[in-house]
Structures are given as structure tokens and as C-alpha cells.
Amino acid sequence: MKRIGILFGGENSFPGALVEQINARNVNGIQAEFVLTGAVEAGNQGNQGNQNKPPRYAVLIDRISHLVPFYRAFLKHAALHGTVVINNPFWTSADDKFFNYALAAKLGVHVPPTVLLPHKQLPPGATDRTLRNLEYPLDWEAVFAAVGEEGFLKPIHGGGWRDVYHVHNREEFFRAYDQTRDLCMVYQKAIEFTEYFRCYVVGQRKVRIMEYDPRRPHSERYVENPAPVPRTLLKRMRMEALKLCRALGYEFNSVEFAVERGVPYAIDFMNPVPDADLHSIGQANFDWIVKEVADLAIAKAKTAPHPPKLRSAVFLASEPTPAKSATKKKAAPKKKINPNVEG
């Protein structure tokens, strides 16, 4: 029996629905369950057996290890023994937002001008001598020349809007920066968007574009009956969301775009545990994401576990996504369609 394990924290709707959906498919030899683990022994596999036995889980879906270092280490250990972990715990440990923006720019995806800033306070244990390579005072004129006076200060290892500051002038900037402790922050130009979209990307193939209004209260942000959006814009966001997830190796991610004068700017695309709660995303989005993640987990389980490959570079790499057939489709006539669709 190949097991698909779901590792999760406080969320209620998604993990249970996923287990139910996978098991309801009755795929021969595949079963989903909630993970149960205790202490893990290095030499054993998920504390369940000896070196020659297959790992307990063929696939693990990770929804919580960003908050629990024990789970992150448990997942890396499982990956070492051949379990496919969604998302790759080695890469999620390595990634950061500034790297994301820089990579996007190299890929030709629009991102707002963004600058990496030194910590406001010294990291714990550091002394005056620790940062001798750092220019002082920092060239703030160059920072404001690159980004402008209105922008967002946000941590490179952020999430859930934690420690995100919207500032409108230098005074607000420095007031916010002074509160950022020893976090590593980026300062990014504010996009004056007319629309904002959040795109689920699953298996580096399936995309669902959802209109989202970050200015509304949390429970009302997913726009239920969005105005039609130009097909060309939807197509571009779909292509760019796929490009980013393939380059970063995420199997399950959400990519956010802010649209200013028709141009989508990628704002946040390091979301290895995207919000999938029924009560915030709504029934239609929920049904879509449960189905797609179930499909992905089952497809991965069919070929997992993989024989362990004992090199760090191999752990960091994502599984290659087969290229789509290069046959060219006829250009569709320009029209507007409802954005909440699978791209």
C-alpha cells in the first residue's frame, strides 16, 4: 500500500477534504491519511523500519513545516528515503522573497523595483565587529531613487502579511524600518493596482486565477462575481505564474499579481502553503484546489517512492516537468472572460 500523508496544523477544511477525495477515488494500492509521527531516528525511516524497507509515506503534503522546525526536519528525512514531499522541504528552506524577485526579473516577469536592506538591529549574538563589511551610513538616497517614496517594507521570510508596512513617505519609512528588529527586509515600490489576482498553481501545470481584493476584510477578499478581464491579461498571468513555479520548483503555490495600467506585477509568489480554507476561498475555488491537489498527490504516489539519491544538489532540484507539445494554436479573438477560471 502506498500512503499519501497530510501534515497540517490549525486548518480544518482542506486536509480532511483532501484525504476524503483521494480515498473516494479508490485508486488501487493508494490511500491517504493524516500523518502521525513521534521522535525520528536518523538511521530508520520515519521511525517505521530499517534501511531496506520503503518509507512509510510515498507522498507527503506539507501544510505546516514553515512553523515547526521538527516537521521540516522530519520531511527532509522522509525525502532522503525516497518520499516525494510537496513542496520540496529543501527548497522551501533555501528560498527567500528577494531571490524570488530577482529571479522573476531575469525571467522577464515584471516585478516592482525592489531593494534588499541590511537589518535594522544586529542579529542575536552579533557584535559591532560582525558587520564590518557593511557600508555605513547606508546610501539612503540611492534606495529612494530606486524605489520611490511610497512602497512596502516586508521581510524576505514573510507570510500572512506579518511585518508588512505600507509607507507613503520617508518619515513613515524610517518609523516602520525602526520597528523591524533584526528581520531582513526588502523595500518595494507600491503598485497602484486596479485589479489584484491570486493564482493557484498545482503540479507546475494547472492554474486557477482568482480575483482578490486585498483592501477588503479578510473573509471577503476573494471576489465572487468579478468583472470580465481581458483574455490577453489572463493568458499572460497564467504563463508567468507557470514560469515562476517551474523556475522555483514549487508543486503547490500561489502567485499574486497586482495590475497597473494593464501590466501584471508579480508581488508574492513564495507561498508553499497557500491558503486553502473553504471559508476564505469559497466553495468553487475550494472544490478546484481539493481536486487538483488530489490528482497531483495520486500521480506522484504512482511513481514514488524514488530511490534515494545521496547528493545535496539532487535534493534541492525539483522533478522536471515534461515540456508541453510545441504545436502552435491559432490566436483566439480578443475578448473578455470571467477570471475565476482554470487557465
Ligand X SMILES: Nc1ncnc2c1ncn2[C@@H]1O[C@H](COP(=O)(O)OP(=O)(O)O)[C@@H](O)[C@H]1O
Contacting residues toward Mg ion, per CB under 5 A:
268
Question: Which residues pair with residue 5 across a beta bridge?
Answer: 33, 60
Q: Give the three cell numbers for residue 44.
A: 530508520
Residue 283 Cβ vs ligand X, minimum distance, rounded to whole Å: 23
DSSP letter at 42 equals: T
Is position 164 an interface residue for ligand X (rule: CB under 6 A)? yes
Q: Looking at beta carbons, which residue is closest to Mg ion?
A: 268
DSSP 87-149: S-HHHHHH--HHHHHHHHHHHT-----EEEE--SSPPTT--TTTTTTS-SS--HHHHHHHH-S
DSSP letter at 26 equals: T
DSSP 142-200: HHHHHH-SSEEEEETT--TTTT-EEESSHHHHHHHHTT-TT--EEEEEPP--SEEEEEE
**Alpha-carbon distance 269 to 252, whole Å?**
11
For ligand X, the binding residues in 256-315 under the rule CB under 6 A are 256, 258, 267-268
Is position 211 an interface residue for ligand X (rule: CB under 6 A)? no
Q: Using CB under 6 A, which of 8, 152, 173, 252 touches ligand X?
A: 152
Is position 339 an interface residue for ligand X (rule: CB under 6 A)? no
Helix (H) or strand (E) holding 33: strand 30-34
Is position 82 an interface residue for ligand X (rule: CB under 6 A)? no
Residue 268 Cβ vs Mg ion, minimum distance, rounded to whole Å: 4
Using the rule CB under 6 A, give the single segment among 36-44, 175-183, 187-195, 234-242 that binds ligand X. Answer: 187-195
Q: Give the three cell numbers for residue 74.
A: 522530519
Q: Which is nearer to ligand X, 25 or 162 (CB)?
A: 162
Using the rule CB under 6 A, give the single segment among 66-74, 160-168, 274-282, 317-325 that binds ligand X. Answer: 160-168
Using the rule CB under 6 A, give the single segment among 45-53, 161-169, 179-187, 308-316 that binds ligand X. Answer: 161-169
Chain residues in the site for ligand X (CB under 6 A): 112, 152, 154, 158-162, 164, 188-191, 214, 256, 258, 267-268
